[in-house]
Amino acid sequence: MQITVSAPGKIHLLGEHAVVYGYPSLLSTIDKRLEVILTLLDKSNDTKEKIQIQTPEGTGLIYKSLEIFQKAARLSQLPPLHIKVESDIPVGSGLGSSAALSVALMGALFKGIKNLWNPVKINELAYEVEKLQHGNPSGGDNTVVTFGGLVWFRRETEFLKSIWNLPSASYHLPSLILIDSGRPKETTGEMVSYVNRLYTQKKTFYENIFKDQERETRNLLSALKKGDRENVKRAFYRGEKNLEKMGVVGKKAQSLIRSIEKLGGFAKISGAGGITEGSGMILCYLSNFEKIEEIAKKFGCNIHKVNLGVEGVRIENGE
Ligand code: MEV
């Protein structure tokens, strides 16, 4: 028996980092997906490896997901499985590749082994995996990847999240260009801990930035609703400045962003960021696409065009 489940990548339109401290964030899925192809192997299969994994990246997150699933499904042991991962979501660049993997795998395990399809449960367990992987995540990444579209998210407490699934069709979501400023040296967990260390030292300073970021996230939402491009630009501009004040944007990303702004466009990092080397994907909008290509080339960066608000986790086949 074989089942394929896919999940999309995501971007933080605004509110990353602040969201870890209970402030809202606005997230969207992107049209890049990851697929988990799960095969239940014949029980008599006498290969020594009961769990066979084929993945372009490490297996750590897969084993964590299996452990959490096994516990939640109250199984004394897992049946023999073959897990294959295929993805077009760049890894470690702020596009939610780890959330997409834990969500798609959790979905495939529930459907394949228990014949259950419950996105709320998938999201809940993927959050447990994210906690093992990143330490103190807000839960926003796994939520948008599960439910899809555009999501207004707030972590009220560790066990209570406010999740608003907004109808993407009622918002003027721009197509964006992602400029790859390079894979960050720091993991998401390390960036979250880094901000937390600074927050503990300069609480008032950080609280003020987070409050301002909440204002900008609200401004962005209203501007997207009205299709007010000038205010979309302003919210992104101010939001990016706040991320720089938080200390999560590296030098290369900052000068790349300034170049886009000089030409009348907007650009911001998305997700945890990075300081020592790259800062992950930079969201960028400028009506003149050739200019973006030129700037990206000058900085030696690849670009990807993405559409926003696509469907969340789904069964591709094997139903
Ligand atoms: C990571 O994609 C976004 C952060 O806000 C962390 C989180 O929300 O868990 C930096």
Q: Is 130 close to ligand 1, i.e. is its CB under 6 Å away?
A: no
- Give the torsion sign (CA, 105, 106, 112, 117): negative
| pLDDT for position 45 | 63
Q: Is 272 close to ligand 1, i.e. is its CB under 6 Å away?
A: yes
Q: Could you identify the atom of ligand 1 that is nearest to the CA of residue 94? A: 2
Cα–Cα–Cα angle for 272, 283, 59, rounded to 5 degrees: 45
Q: Is 16 close to ligand 1, i.e. is its CB under 6 Å away?
A: yes
In tens, the pLDDT along 267-316 reads: 999 999 999 999 999 999 888 889 999 999 999 999 999 999 999 999 99
Domains and CATH numbers, the chain: 2-169+311-317 (3.30.230.10), 176-306 (3.30.70.890)
Q: What is the Å distance from ligand 1's center to 54 Cα?
A: 27
Alpha-carbon gap, residue 79 to 115, rounded angstroms: 14
Tell whether the model's pLDDT for residue 319 goes beyond 60.
no
- pTM for this predicted structure: 0.95
Pocket test for ligand 1, best of 138, 191, 279 (most atoms within 8 A of CB): 138
182: pLDDT confidence band, cut at 50, 70 and 90? Answer: very high
| pLDDT for position 48 | 66
Tell whether the model's pLDDT for residue 252 goes beyond 70.
yes
Average pLDDT, the chain: 95
Q: Pick the closest to residue 284 from 300, 267, 303 (CA basis).
A: 267
Could you tell me the maximum CA-CA distance found in the chain, to the nearest angstrom? 65
